[in-house]
Amino acid sequence: MAKQKMPQQVYCKNCINNFEAIARISFLGFRKFRCPKCQQNVVWPLSGGFLFVYWIVISGAIVFRFASTGGPLQMINLFDLFALGALAALVMNYFLKQRMNK
């Protein structure tokens, strides 16, 4: 966690500018930087640690659903909400990566 307080080299595609900035961690764990030149937000895909935790959360929710007495068709529980958040993060991450590879 201490590592994230360090300024990082960021490349802004919008104005083709390299700058150093300290990341702000968004709600789902994405690292956000603001370009000092054009004020555009630069968002980085998730690091491996976050991805791992999200997959654990999703599979945990699925396992809980099938293992608990309610069965697979039970009402939405707290695990599902966490899993939905994790799934949203993974989908966002997927699109971020696609955009970065262009």
The position carrying tokens 């700058």 is 19
Query: In the set 15, 67, 81, 88, which binds Zn ion (CB under 5 A)?
Result: 15
Question: What is d(CA 95, CA 82) in angstroms, rounded to the nearest whole number?
Answer: 20
Q: Using the rule CB under 5 A, is 38 a contact of Zn ion?
A: yes
Least distance in angstroms from the C-beta of 15 to Zn ion: 4
Q: Using the rule CB under 5 A, is 41 a contact of Zn ion?
A: no
Query: In the set 10, 12, 83, 86, which binds Zn ion (CB under 5 A)?
Result: 12
Residue-by-residue DSSP string for 7-73? -EEEEETTTTEEEEE--EE-TTS-EEEE-TTT--EEEEPPPHHHHHHHHHHHHHHHHHHHHSTT-TT
Comparing CB distances to Zn ion, the nearer of 38 and 63 is: 38
Q: Using the rule CB under 5 A, is 10 a contact of Zn ion?
A: no
The position carrying tokens 């104005």 is 15
Q: Can you give the binding site for Zn ion, defined by CB under 5 A?
A: 12, 14-15, 17, 35, 37-38, 40
